[in-house]
Amino acid sequence: MPISAEKIVANGYSIFHGSNAWSALSMFIERASNTYSSINILLDENTEKQCLPALYDNAPSLVNAALVRIPSGEANKNVGTLAEIWEALQSNGSTRRSLLINLGGGLISDIGGFAASTFKRGIDFINIPTTLLGQADASIGGKTGIDLLAVKNQVGLIVNPVAVFVIPDFLRTLNHQQLKSGYAEILKYGLISDRELWKSAKDNASLLTEYSESNWTDIIEKALVIKNTIVVEDPKEQGIRKVLNFGHTIGHALEAFSLQNDSNPITHGEAVAIGMICEAYISTVVLGLDLEELNQISSVILSIFEKYDLSKPNDSMLIELMRHDKKNTSSNINFTLLNSIGSAVIDQYTETKIISEALNFYRDL
């Protein structure tokens, strides 16, 4: 039976999105039930409660699928949790002809994709992202992996899912902080590639409190198209795909610090939002980003995200975390920077004193 829905063609798989994504998923599962020896669903306590019932309603045969449960939270994106997933798959009798369904946000698609890609040297998996971060960014592009020694995404593979199903209705299950976390990535896409998307995102921040399926569908599709276009051109992140890392060099360091030191750690998106302000500052020094655009970026981000207390981490601690970033060569810290809103340049380097200036710029806002 052919699958018909709005879709984006990626590297060997399709991203189904919009109002027809449920029907596309239902048809896929109907076919999968006759194709795979078994089906497993990876989820956490939140998606089991808030998302699994809708999945059962739209694909009733999945009530027979085995559930693989892991705890939510970035602190669990580690080799211990990965081993638990492998052990569950083995206990469930999974074979190389089994399917893993990743039902959740970026953590679920990252660790689930890695588990599937390595279990019995690789089984098929699909992603059903339930967070804005997952729908607009993490679930596509094939990046899978885990954190190691408090450093983000140090071990992993680039392996594509069989399909991705982006269903905006799941966004109704998210709280304000979770929506903001994903919104940071949408703002990033506008800053690196599409001035009009940046304008649309900054002018429609009310979406974070007033749900509109049509508006979310439109803005997520724009983000998906941008990321997929870049990933198709550079699937292994040897060149232009690095543009997606804007805000992430400093952001990942802050996220790792917060995870180790804060009782209520900041989210990935909150860390990237800080990183975008700091790296926009570095862009003014290295590439001559206009100061008015720097001020606009800072103002828009701070109108959405609460200020984080950067007095706790010292600069040397954060810079040391940045040195572990997987994009680096030798001891040089690699940045993607902006030369204007909507245009970014990869493989940029700067002195540590400029990084400290950027952190102080944020502190003084």
Catalytic site residue from 241, 255, 279, 327:
241
Average confidence score pLDDT of the chain:
95
- Asked if residue 315 is part of any domain, the answer here is yes
Residue range of the domain that includes 206: 176-364
pLDDT at position 232 over 80: yes
Residue 340, CA atoms < 13 Å, CB-side half-sphere: 4
Do the beta carbons of residue 208 and residue 9 sit within 8 Å? Answer: no
> Which H or E run includes 103?
strand 98-104
Domain boundary among 124, 146, 173: 173
Tokens 């074979």 correspond to 95
- Asked if residue 276 is part of any domain, the answer here is yes
State the average pLDDT over residues 195-214.
90
For residues 167 and 61, state if they share a domain: yes
Active site annotation includes 175: no
Q: What's the sign of the alpha-carbon dihedral 323, 329, 335, 336?
A: negative
| CATH code of the domain containing 249 | 1.20.1090.10
State the average pLDDT over residues 285-299.
98
Distance CA 81, CA 138 (A): 19
pLDDT band of 1, cuts 50, 70, 90: very low
For residues 275 and 345, state if they share a domain: yes
For residues 348 and 258, state if they share a domain: yes
Do the beta carbons of residue 14 and residue 24 sit within 8 Å? Answer: no
pLDDT at position 4 over 50: no
**Closest Cα to residue 188, out of 158, 164, 148, 219?**
219
State the average pLDDT over residues 152-181.
95
For residues 86 and 161, state if they share a domain: yes
pLDDT band of 213, cuts 50, 70, 90: confident
Domain boundary among 141, 173, 205: 173
Q: What's the sign of the alpha-carbon dihedral 274, 275, 281, 284?
A: negative
Cα 177 versus chain centre, distance: 15
For residues 110 and 229, state if they share a domain: no
Catalytic site residue from 245, 255, 270, 327:
245
Do the beta carbons of residue 279 and residue 249 sit within 8 Å? Answer: yes
For residues 18 and 57, state if they share a domain: yes
For residues 283 and 223, state if they share a domain: yes
Tokens 């400093």 correspond to 250
Active site annotation includes 245: yes
| CATH code of the domain containing 42 | 3.40.50.1970
Domain boundary among 173, 194, 216: 173
Active site annotation includes 97: no
Q: Does the predicted TM-score (pTM) go above 0.85? A: yes
Q: Classify strands 98-104 and 124-129 as parallel, antiparallel or unpaired.
A: parallel
- Asked if residue 218 is part of any domain, the answer here is yes
Active site annotation includes 143: yes
Active site annotation includes 17: no
